Amino acid sequence: AQKITQTQPGMFVQEKEAVTLDCTYDTSDQSYGLFWYKQPSSGEMIFLIYQGSYDEQNATEGRYSLNFQKARKSANLVISASQLGDSAMYFCAMREGWGSGGYQKVTFGTGTKLQVIP
């Protein structure tokens, strides 16, 4: 079974509008972390936002917010007021294996390509 599922291979959004990128996950761990990364066409991986499994509030970072629904095992990324520079691949990821020895394994989804239209 896929650990991280991103069902939208590609999305379009009009500039200045909000967009939601979907992510569902599968884990039996009680402690885990969820991340979103952005990969623009230049290729670098940029950390956007983090949500811990025990965090009660949804994470927010500027125009990014993570809509965390634990019972549904979903961690959707919401980008408000889209900008042309938001055009990129977006990856959802999950960290499991939270241990004392520095062990952690992060699994990535297949990504969603977002294109912002002027």
CB 12 within 8 Å of CB 82: no
Residue 5 touching other proteins (CB under 8 A):
no
Which token pair is 41? 């066409």
Q: Does 57 bind other proteins (CB under 8 A)?
A: no
Tell me the H-state helices in 1-118: none
Q: Which is nearest to 2 in space by CA: 21, 33, 32, 23?
A: 23
Size of the site for other proteins (CB under 8 A): 31
The contact mask relative to other proteins for 81-100 (x = CB under 8 A, - = no) is: --------x-x-x-x-xxxx
Per CB under 8 A, residues contacting other proteins are 33, 35, 37, 39, 43-47, 50, 52, 54-55, 89, 91, 93, 95, 97-108, 110-111
